[in-house]
Amino acid sequence: MSLEFSAESKKKIAALCERYPTKRPVVLAALHLAQKEFGHLSDDALRLVGTTLDLPYAHVYGVATFYTMFRREPGGRTTIRVCTNISCMLRGGYEVLDEFSAKLKLAPGESSKSFSLVEEECIAACANAPAVLCGTKYFLDVTPAQVAAIIAELEREPRPEGEVA
Amino acid sequence: MALADRNTKLVSAKFGNEDAKTLAGYEKLGGYQMLRKALAMRPEDIANEVKASNLRGRGGAGFATGVKWGFVPKDAKEVHLVCNADESEPGTCKDRELIYWDPHLLVEGMVISAFALKAKHNYIYIRGEMMREYAVIAKAVEEAYARGYLGKNILGSGFECHLTVHRGAGAYICGEETALLNSLEGLRGQPRLKPPFPAIKGLFGNPTIVNNVETLMNVPFIVDKGGAWFAALGPGRSGGTRMLCVSGHVNKPGVYELPIGITFRELIDEVCGGVWKGRKAKAVIPGGTSMPPLTYDELDVPIEFDALMTDERIKPVEIAPGVPFDMGGGRQLRSMAGSGGVVVMDDHTDIPKAVWRIMKFYAHESCGQCTPCREGTGWMTKVAKRVADAQGKPGDLELLASIAHGIAGNTICALGDAAAWPMLGFLTKFRPDFEAALAASGAAA
Ligand SMILES: Cc1cc2nc3c(=O)[nH]c(=O)nc-3n(C[C@H](O)[C@H](O)[C@H](O)COP(=O)(O)O)c2cc1C
Ligand code: SF4
Ligand code: FES
């Protein structure tokens, strides 16, 4: 199945290509857009990015698999990134992650239709640890007791990461 | 001209002011006046003020900004300025706040710096996970273009300056400046061999200056009040103020702009309301997890670049009890001021477990190019985990030290050192904690 970018994405990519001496630097932005439109980066999505930017498939594949925000498999609508790095761990980050895991019945790294649960490295919110990131929304100073309410909020108001792609 | 006090706020002056984030609000507070002033100066004069200011890089290494700018060849045809907004050093959370609260200060700082460097095509590399901040800075850049602060002929000066916000996609290593440049060029984010240094051959093969968010945001103040004024704010060879991010076991964690030279003890007790639950600090990471930790007895050292490297009250890092680690040429490693991320651990902290979590981070983030880093960070994580889980084996502490020692100084980029130094530092200063964990494993140290 061959894919196509929406008119809006095509416009964004064309505008970005003006900002660099070649098209290759636009690969990250194009991958973000492809993930937004197609949900994940299938082989076809990678091929589309390649033909759009005149890049070999192998190059696009190499880039897409280097960065942790890109996913090759379908994921949930909202990605819940729970930081367990040092500052968060010191104030209960793992307990928060465990609570998400129990409530969502997802192990870190797993997805349902609504959610992907990710054990995240430091998200630069250490002074408000434990911190959780969902798209453009931060949940700060989170306690396990707040997790159920956070999930309910995200069910009402999903925070897809593609919002800013 | 005087030293900064705790009320001196430069880069954080607009924190909490939603209005200041818009172009109109920023202009009302005097925004872009420094750009006007700068455009009437000669680029060399701005660079000289920055040199005189003793501004030192806030990204981690504390390198003198004016000196770095001076490395760009005078006859360069095309130069680039790149802002490093990849902030992901554990414990560090200042750049994210700075961008969120004062995006136009970053834009103004970049245009002024680009003018001084004669750089036309410039970039902000922002960490992929910072989606909220990306939206904020992208809007500020758009507003600045619309008002003529960016574009072909800025404020009629004839200076052409473009600024593009480039999103990363999740990789700590892209904060390392040459990995960042590769990522900007559309490659995997793997560090380059140095030399050549970016100031000679960087982005698209052109001389490139990479500076941290906070570094660039200080430039408008230097243009405003002069390099000498800025230099006088700080002690010794460190000008200005410093954003410190305090996290962990304190009563009031936070991101604070403070005088350079405040001591760790003053920071914890006076600014952050002391250690929580009435406890005592046991270990303090001074500037992001890559820097060797301090003990309770070492907290009277000022938080200043040179002091952390040379103050004799800080015990040098060892590779074995009584054997100092040699950084090369007999130089000892005490610690470094790093990124401003101060992580406080109280006296109930499980140190081996904390060290395991730090090592797990570096193993996850190693780009895999160098064998000592790729294999070594994985091994340290595995061994630290079994020690922390009371499953350690005799000789594990020596093993950890020898793996760390094998990484340090033997890799393409500083991520290797960033993993090795805290490993050696914690082993040096908290050995009894590791020995107790080994004893609990039934394995004597
Ligand atoms: C592994 C690694 C990660 C780094 N991450 C960052 C970062 O997130 N932000 C940053 O400004 N500098 C980071 N640095 C330092 C940069 O390589 C570079 O020194 C800095 O951006 C220069 O800016 P400055 O002189 O203004 O500090 C990192 C270095 C290493 C080795
Ligand atoms: S030291 Fe580690 S992160 Fe740096 S280039 Fe080598 S393998 Fe990559
Ligand atoms: S350690 Fe969790 S946000 Fe920094």
Q: Is a pLDDT exceeding 80 seen at residue A18?
A: yes
pTM of the model: 0.97
Confidence of residue B445 (pLDDT cuts 50, 70, 90): low
How confident is the model over B235-245, as pLDDT tens digits? 999 999 999 99
Residues B200 and B253 placed together within one structural domain of the fold: no
- For A147, the token pair is 């997790």
Q: Which of B164, B198, B232 is the last residue of a domain?
A: B232
Residues A124 and A150 placed together within one structural domain of the fold: yes
Residues A62 and A82 placed together within one structural domain of the fold: no
Which residues in chain A are closer than 8 Å to B188, comparing Cβ atoms? Answer: 62-63, 66
Among the listed residues B291, B330, B288, the one whose alpha carbon sits nearest the alpha carbon of residue B308:
B291
- For A20, the token pair is 């660099």
The pLDDT assigned to B381 comes to 98
Residues A53 and A87 placed together within one structural domain of the fold: no
In the stretch 131-160 of chain A, residues with CB closer than 8 A to chain B read 133, 135-138
Residues A15 and A61 placed together within one structural domain of the fold: yes
Residues B204 and B141 placed together within one structural domain of the fold: yes
Residues A103 and A132 placed together within one structural domain of the fold: yes
In the stretch 36-75 of chain A, residues with CB closer than 8 A to chain B read 55, 62-63, 66-70
Task: Tell how far the Cα of A92 is from the centroid of ligand 2, in angstroms.
Answer: 30
Residue A162 lies in a domain: no
**Cβ neighbours of residue A133 closer than 8 Å, sequence gap 6 or more:** A81, A83, A120, A123, A125, A139, B129
A69/B128 Cβ within 8 A: yes
The pLDDT assigned to B419 comes to 98
The pLDDT assigned to B198 comes to 98
Among the listed residues A47, A43, A123, the one whose alpha carbon sits nearest the alpha carbon of residue A79:
A123
How much is the mean pLDDT over chain A?
A: 97
Q: Which of B173, B202, B232 is the last residue of a domain?
A: B232
How confident is the model over B355-407, as pLDDT tens digits? 999 999 999 999 999 999 999 999 999 999 999 999 999 999 999 999 999 99
Q: Are B60 and B95 in contact (CB under 8 A)?
A: no
CATH number at residue B55: 3.40.50.11540
Residue B5 lies in a domain: no
Residue A60 lies in a domain: yes
Residues B194 and B225 placed together within one structural domain of the fold: yes
Distance of CA B335 to the CA centre of its chain: 14
Mutate to test the pocket of ligand 2, among B86, B88, B89, B173 (most ligand atoms within 8 A of CB): B173
Residue A1 lies in a domain: no
A127/B189 Cβ within 8 A: no
Residues A84 and A61 placed together within one structural domain of the fold: no
Ligand 3 close to Cβ of residue B288 (< 6 A): no
B247/A122 Cβ within 8 A: no
How confident is the model over B139-179, as pLDDT tens digits? 999 999 999 999 999 999 999 999 999 999 999 999 999 99
Q: Which of A42, A66, A90 is the last residue of a domain?
A: A66
Residues B59 and B97 placed together within one structural domain of the fold: yes
Ligand 3 close to Cβ of residue A45 (< 6 A): no
Inform me whether the C-beta atom of residue A120 falls under 8 Å from chain B C-beta atoms: yes
Residue A137 lies in a domain: yes
CATH number at residue A129: 3.40.30.10
Mean pLDDT throughout B64-92?
97
Number of A to B CB contacts under 8 A, please give it.
140
Distance of CA B75 to the CA centre of its chain: 30
Residue A163 lies in a domain: no
Residue B402 lies in a domain: yes
Report the distance separating Cα A163 and Cα A161, nearest Å: 5
Q: Are A156 and A114 in contact (CB under 8 A)?
A: no
Residue B183 lies in a domain: yes
Report the distance separating Cα B355 and Cα B362, nearest Å: 11
The pLDDT assigned to A50 comes to 98
Torsion angle defined by CA atoms of residues B180, B184, B188 and B193, in that order, rounded to the nearest 10 degrees: -50
Mean pLDDT throughout A56-70?
98
Q: What ipTM does the predicted assembly reach?
A: 0.98
The pLDDT assigned to B442 comes to 83
The pLDDT assigned to A165 comes to 85
The pLDDT assigned to B444 comes to 62
The pLDDT assigned to B56 comes to 98
Residue B8 lies in a domain: no
The pLDDT assigned to B417 comes to 97
Residue B170 lies in a domain: yes
- Please give the residue range of the domain that contains residue A38: 7-66
Mean pLDDT throughout B79-104?
98
Q: Which of B210, B232, B254 is the last residue of a domain?
A: B232
The pLDDT assigned to B1 comes to 74
Q: Which of A26, A46, A66 is the last residue of a domain?
A: A66
Ligand 1 close to Cβ of residue B417 (< 6 A): no
Ligand 1 atom 20: the closest Cα is on which residue?
A: B59
Ligand 2 close to Cβ of residue B415 (< 6 A): yes
Q: Tell which atom from ligand 2 comes closest to the C-alpha of B416.
A: 1
Residue B13 lies in a domain: no
Task: Tell how far the Cα of B19 is from the centroid of ligand 2, in angstroms.
Answer: 42
Mean pLDDT throughout B204-214?
98
Alpha helices (runs of H) in chain A, residue ranges in sequence order: 7-17, 27-38, 43-53, 57-64, 86-90, 93-104, 147-156
On the 0-12 / 13-18 / 19+ scale of CB atoms within 10 A, A113 is exposed
Residues B190 and B277 placed together within one structural domain of the fold: no
The pLDDT assigned to A1 comes to 60
How confident is the model over B299-345, as pLDDT tens digits? 999 999 999 999 999 999 999 999 999 998 999 999 999 999 999 99
Confidence of residue A2 (pLDDT cuts 50, 70, 90): confident
Residues B189 and B73 placed together within one structural domain of the fold: yes
| Of the partner residues B87, B185, B189, the one whose CB lies closest to the CB of residue A124 | B87
Which residue type sits at A96? Answer: V
The pLDDT assigned to B313 comes to 98
Ligand 3 close to Cβ of residue A129 (< 6 A): yes
- Please give the residue range of the domain that contains residue B180: 18-232
Ligand 2 atom 4: the closest Cα is on which residue?
A: B413
Residues B226 and B253 placed together within one structural domain of the fold: no
Ligand 2 close to Cβ of residue B273 (< 6 A): no
CA B255-A135-A61 angle, 5° bins: 115
Mutate to test the pocket of ligand 3, among A126, A138, A139 (most ligand atoms within 8 A of CB): A126
How confident is the model over B104-134, as pLDDT tens digits? 999 999 999 999 999 999 999 999 999 999 9
Residue A96 lies in a domain: yes
Residue A2 lies in a domain: no
Ligand 1 close to Cβ of residue B109 (< 6 A): no
Ligand 2 close to Cβ of residue B290 (< 6 A): no
Report the distance separating Cα B364 and Cα A63, nearest Å: 17
Q: Which of A66, A91, A114 is the last residue of a domain?
A: A66
Question: Total structural domains in chain B?
Answer: 2
Which residues in chain A are closer than 8 Å to B345, comparing Cβ atoms? Answer: 90
Question: Total structural domains in chain A?
Answer: 2
How confident is the model over A90-146, as pLDDT tens digits? 999 999 999 999 999 999 999 999 999 999 999 999 999 999 999 999 999 999 999
How much is the mean pLDDT over chain B?
A: 97
Residues A85 and A129 placed together within one structural domain of the fold: yes
Q: Tell which atom from ligand 3 comes closest to the C-alpha of B93.
A: 4
Residues B148 and B271 placed together within one structural domain of the fold: no
Task: Tell how far the Cα of B57 is from the centroid of ligand 1, in angstroms.
Answer: 9
Mean pLDDT throughout B5-30?
97
How confident is the model over B268-305, as pLDDT tens digits? 999 999 999 999 999 999 999 999 999 999 999 999 99
Inform me whether the C-beta atom of residue A25 falls under 8 Å from chain B C-beta atoms: yes
The pLDDT assigned to B100 comes to 98
How many angstroms away from the CA of B40 is the closest CA of chain A?
27
